[in-house]
Chain A
Amino acid sequence: MASDVTGLERLEDRPITMSPAAIEEEFTRIWKETAAAGADEASVRLRTQNFVGVGPETWTVERFERVMESLPQRHPCRSVLAVISPERSGLESSISAHCWRTAAGGRHVCSEEVILKAGPADEHALASTVLALLVPELPLNVWVIGPVVLDSHVASELIEGADIVFVDTADAPDVAAALRAALIAHRKHNVAVCDLAWRRLAVWRSLIAQFFDGDDGARRLSQLRAIEITGGGAVSSEMLLMGGWFISRLGLSLAEAERDNTSLTATLYDGSRGVTLTLKGGPEQAAAITEVKVRTSEAEFIVQAHAESGHMHVREEWPGDSDHRTVAQVPTDDASVVAEALDDASDLPIFIEAAEAAVDLLRN
């Protein structure tokens, strides 16, 4: 073939459009071509998972592409994005590659990406094409992007065989419905569900847990009086999940909850002792959570996010004494959050319990 660029270089340059039936063949041809061109530096194709994005076209393409810019470096994958748009008819597909140089230099490592776009009438064709493109024997992780709609044809076909399903309940106009949808999918398909809103709380949860390690910690927890969670805008799914986490982990029972547009106050019981939980919304532009304060009968334990510096402040206030330190925040962009969750999914069962408690808070 007379060509002065290798197949891979063309792929990196811009996506190539083709019929869905030709995708696998085209990938094979391109890899062969790249090997034959004997590029100065070796290129290797690497995949440790199938990563599939599903959603309405308006929400999805840009967000998925942003994740693909860095996720494959930590979790090399065959990725497929399947979007549906009411304006389309027929099934359109394109392929591209994400390549990067390894830290040790020398090699180019590449992940393959396929984008499929379909109209509402082609949902079945879309689902079967995605299934055909999955690499066998590798985990399947599915990200349902945008509002948490898990019962569309494409979504349910994929969730059925998935290892982890990612959603972001913060995207949903109705948080309670989104959390319920996540819980139903978990039960119905026996699949691990990972809510990005929940994973963005990971750093908060670990800093708060630190206050209560060891024998002293157990004593402090037994003196718990109040939990105050503050954030931007209305009561968000992050605030609710944080509240749900405290309730489920500490085995608190809910007596009553009151809410208005920007706040929720609940009375919880730990045996005979009352604990107040307050979720307080604030300025619209602030982060979903800006402060968590835990009050015991002796002291206050506070974690705050500092928007400008991106750092977090951790404080203990005792009568006549205080301790204060500053630590780094962790990145909360989609790619970092998904990558972290893929590294360690051991908190997903905890999420289910927190989500159940959060739904409970809203029911009252």
Chain B
Amino acid sequence: MTMAEPAVNPLRTGMRLNRAADPCAVVVFGATGDLTARKLMPALYNLARERLLPGGFSVVGFARRDWTDEQFRAAMKEGVTKFSREPLQEELWESFARGLHYVSGTFDDAQAYAKLAERLAKQDIAHGAAGNRLFYLATPPDAYAMIAQRLGEAQLATPQAGNWTRLVVEKPFGRDLTSARALDQSIGNVFRERYIYRIDHYLGKETVQNIMVFRFGNGIFEPVWNRRYVDNVQVSVAETVGVEGRGGYYEESGALRDMVQNHLMQVLALVAMEPVASFRGDAVRDEKAKVFHAVKAIEDVGRDTVRAQYSAGAIMGAMVPGYREEQGVAPDSHTETYAAIKLEVENWRWSGVPFYLRVGKRLPKRATEVAITFKTAPLQLFRQMGGDNPTPNLLVLRIQPDEGISLRFGAKVPGTRSDVRPVNMDFRYGSSFGVEPPEAYERLLLDAMLGDSTLFTRWDGVEAAWELLTPVLDGWADGASPIKQYEAGSWGPDAARELIERDGREWHRM
């Protein structure tokens, strides 16, 4: 099927957004859950107040609880009041809430989907949603396949001529390669790949998108962005929080599944990928997929990976319990709250440059960074202050909390001698642009409504990441790299330090 280009609206010429989202109904499965109240509803409300949603927009919540439309609206109002980045304004809320509806049912109940279909048809007339649908799976992951299947059976997955139907899937997409493939197949039976939008909310973050702007919007970095000049790349995500009452959920997942397989791998791909010729269609996702396929399989899980759990300790002076003492966690749990891993991207640009990834909970501070260490100058002409080793140039792309870029280089200490001291040139987006970036979910929901899938993950990327990391999970299950402990408030286990020091390098200090 070829898609006709939408008609050009002459009144849009010169406007930043070249079209508004089509009128549509967003159907949220799991609408009484935490994600809906905390992220989805505040994002939709803010899009509406900022005039980015079309007339004829509506939401249908679907979950088990036997709620009425009114109860749903009241619960959503509470969520928006609590979590929205902009305070709720009564009149704007009233206008938005008129479009909120609720259907109750269980995910396996065919009757409930018939009820949903009826409701949507009614709304098409009342709100002019024109038959366009965005189904959002904000449910426990084991329900994804069932919901897709039931949507198919109820004829809800196939749009009427001239309309569209899209499916947004939350993370995690599978727990390993086998389950991800099975899930892909079940969903793929009902929805074609181009209509599936897999959320990785990291990609919706302004500063993650900035990695591309930084690389491809500036001429001076690309020439040194390769194995000739780069010594190593480190991607680090440090959290101070523990499992925050979600111990049961975390036990089933762990740091590798929860963070590395999706967020860190996506950031790695943005750092390592080749330049794109345009941002249209699949260009970015094609380049990212090539990176994933170029990552060398981990041969020695015991040598190149580390996993660990936090034990009791102190964060910012406050005592916190160890992971195994958290609610919902088994006293002999082997789930990792910290993971470090060494990867290599085997292509012409990166061959021989190690990529070190690390992520951990209950670390001393919250920070997400990409650190690129450059090779040192070939000759050491000047005396280094504070040690004999020349300090390499370091470029740090800080993603959170204080987004920015810093570059470390050597400068002459004033005086008659030629002594060199490292100095930092620091740029912070927050101070230069003084505007609040929108929440990641706002950008992603709007993109899904506009049909722009650039910031969503595609199946080949997800599959490649699982292909790479499933052997690590299997190796760990077989006892490779036994789980270590690290004290809450420290920078992780000694084994992680050893992993990088073995290569004559060290972790960048965050």
Listed in ascending order, the chain A residues whose CB lies under 8 Å from chain B are 44, 46, 48, 73-74, 76, 100, 102-104, 107, 109, 203, 205-215, 217-218, 221, 249-251, 309, 311-312, 314, 316, 323-328, 344, 346-350
Q: Which residues from A are CB-within-8-Å of B91? A: 309, 311, 326
Q: Give the shortest distance, in Å, between A222 (CB) and chain B (any CB).
A: 10
Once bound together, how far apart are the Cα atoms of A201 and B205, in whole Å? 30
Q: Give the shortest distance, in Å, between A305 (CB) and chain B (any CB).
A: 13
Q: Is the CB of A107 within 8 A of B431?
A: yes
Chain B 84-120 near chain A by CB (<8 Å), digits 1 or 0: 0000010110111000000000000000000000000
Cβ-closest chain A residue relative to B402: A104
Q: Is the CB of B9 within 8 A of A209?
A: yes
Cβ of B348 under 8 Å from chain A: no
Q: Give the shortest distance, in Å, between A308 (CB) and chain B (any CB).
A: 10
- Sample (17) of A-B pairs whose CB atoms are under 8 Å apart: A48-B432, A76-B432, A104-B401, A104-B402, A205-B15, A207-B51, A208-B11, A212-B9, A213-B54, A214-B6, A214-B9, A218-B7, A324-B95, A325-B55, A325-B96, A326-B92, A347-B15
A102-B428, A311-B92 as given contacts; A206 in contact with B15, CB under 8 Å:
yes
Of the candidates A44, A323, A349, which one forms a contact with B56 in the assembled complex, judged by CB atoms under 8 Å apart? A323
Q: Which residues from B are CB-within-8-Å of A324? A: 95
Of the candidates A103, A209, A214, A323, which one forms a contact with B22 in the assembled complex, judged by CB atoms under 8 Å apart? A214
Q: Is the CB of B20 within 8 A of A213?
A: yes
Cβ of B416 under 8 Å from chain A: no
Q: Which residues from A are CB-within-8-Å of B378? A: none
Q: Give the shortest distance, in Å, between A303 (CB) and chain B (any CB).
A: 10
Q: Is the CB of B430 within 8 A of A102?
A: yes
Q: Which 10 A-B pairs have the closest CB atoms?
A: A73-B434, A326-B95, A347-B14, A350-B14, A218-B7, A104-B402, A209-B11, A102-B431, A109-B431, A328-B49
Chain B 369-390 near chain A by CB (<8 Å), digits 1 or 0: 0000000000000000000000
Interface residue ranges of B1-53 to A (CB < 8 Å)? 6-17, 19-20, 22, 48-51
Q: Which residues from A are CB-within-8-Å of B17? A: 206
A interface SS class: mixed
Q: Which residues from A are CB-within-8-Å of B14? A: 346-350
Q: Is the CB of B51 within 8 A of A327?
A: yes
Q: Which residues from B are CB-within-8-Å of A348? A: 14
Q: Which residues from B are CB-within-8-Å of A210? A: 20, 51, 54-55
Once bound together, how far apart are the Cα atoms of A312 and B49, in whole Å? 10
Q: Which residues from B are CB-within-8-Å of A217? A: 7, 9
Q: Give the shortest distance, in Å, between A211 (CB) and chain B (any CB).
A: 8
Cβ-closest chain A residue relative to B403: A104
Chain B 423-464 near chain A by CB (<8 Å), digits 1 or 0: 000001011111110000000000000000000000000000
Q: Is the CB of A44 within 8 A of B54?
A: no
Cβ of B410 under 8 Å from chain A: no
Supplied contacts A76-B432, A210-B51, A314-B55, 6 more A-B pairs, CB within 8 Å: A76-B431, A103-B436, A208-B11, A210-B54, A212-B11, A312-B51
Q: Is the CB of A249 within 8 A of B11?
A: yes
Q: Which residues from A are CB-within-8-Å of B174? A: none
Q: Which residues from A are CB-within-8-Å of B20? A: 209-210, 213
Cβ-closest chain B residue relative to A72: B434
Cβ of B127 under 8 Å from chain A: yes
Listed in ascending order, the chain B residues whose CB lies under 8 Å from chain A are 6-17, 19-20, 22, 48-51, 54-56, 89, 91-92, 94-96, 127-128, 162, 401-402, 428, 430-436
B interface SS class: loop
Once bound together, how far apart are the Cα atoms of A48 and B433, in whole Å? 10
Cβ-closest chain B residue relative to A246: B11
Q: Which residues from B are CB-within-8-Å of A325? A: 48, 55, 95-96
Once bound together, how far apart are the Cα atoms of A314 and B57, in whole Å? 13
Cβ-closest chain A residue relative to B89: A328
Of the candidates B7, B94, B436, the one having the most CB atoms from chain A within 10 angstroms of its own CB is B7
Once bound together, how far apart are the Cα atoms of A155 and B366, in whole Å? 50
Q: Is the CB of A104 within 8 A of B15?
A: no
Q: Is the CB of A104 within 8 A of B19?
A: no
Q: Give the shortest distance, in Å, between A201 (CB) and chain B (any CB).
A: 12
Q: Which residues from A are CB-within-8-Å of B433? A: 74
Cβ-closest chain B residue relative to A212: B9
Q: Is the CB of B10 within 8 A of A249?
A: yes
Cβ-closest chain A residue relative to B21: A213
Of the candidates B13, B51, B162, which one forms a contact with A350 in the assembled complex, judged by CB atoms under 8 Å apart? B13
Q: Give the shortest distance, in Å, between A333 (CB) and chain B (any CB).
A: 16
Q: Which residues from B are CB-within-8-Å of A249? A: 10-11, 13
A74-B435, A203-B51, A328-B89 as given contacts; A214 in contact with B19, CB under 8 Å:
yes
Q: Which residues from B are CB-within-8-Å of A208? A: 11
Q: Give the shortest distance, in Å, between A317 (CB) and chain B (any CB).
A: 12
Q: Which residues from B are CB-within-8-Å of A311? A: 89, 91-92
Once bound together, how far apart are the Cα atoms of A100 and B430, in whole Å? 12
Q: Which residues from B are CB-within-8-Å of A205? A: 11, 15
Q: Which residues from A are CB-within-8-Å of B22? A: 213-214
Q: Give the shortest distance, in Å, between B367 (CB) and chain A (any CB).
A: 12
Once bound together, how far apart are the Cα atoms of A207 and B162, in whole Å? 24
Q: Is the CB of A214 within 8 A of B7?
A: yes
Once bound together, how far apart are the Cα atoms of A109 and B434, in whole Å? 10
Of the candidates B16, B50, B92, B434, the one having the most CB atoms from chain A within 10 angstroms of its own CB is B434
Once bound together, how far apart are the Cα atoms of A109 and B13, in whole Å? 37
Q: Which residues from A are CB-within-8-Å of B13? A: 249, 350
Once bound together, how far apart are the Cα atoms of A205 and B20, in whole Å? 13
Q: Give the shortest distance, in Å, between B19 (CB) and chain A (any CB).
A: 5
Q: Is the CB of A44 within 8 A of B431?
A: yes
Q: Is the CB of A328 within 8 A of B92?
A: yes
Q: Is the CB of B12 within 8 A of A250?
A: no
Q: Is the CB of A213 within 8 A of B15?
A: no
Once bound together, how far apart are the Cα atoms of A312 and B402, in whole Å? 35
Once bound together, how far apart are the Cα atoms of A206 and B20, in whole Å? 9
Q: Is the CB of B12 within 8 A of A328?
A: no
Of the candidates B6, B89, B435, which one forms a contact with A215 in the assembled complex, judged by CB atoms under 8 Å apart? B6
Q: Is the CB of A328 within 8 A of B55?
A: no
Once bound together, how far apart are the Cα atoms of A213 and B17, in whole Å? 11
Once bound together, how far apart are the Cα atoms of A350 and B49, in whole Å? 26
Q: Is the CB of A251 within 8 A of B7?
A: no
Once bound together, how far apart are the Cα atoms of A91 and B51, in whole Å? 48
Q: Is the CB of A213 within 8 A of B10?
A: no
Q: Give the shortest distance, in Å, between B59 (CB) and chain A (any CB).
A: 13
Once bound together, how far apart are the Cα atoms of A350 and B50, in whole Å? 23
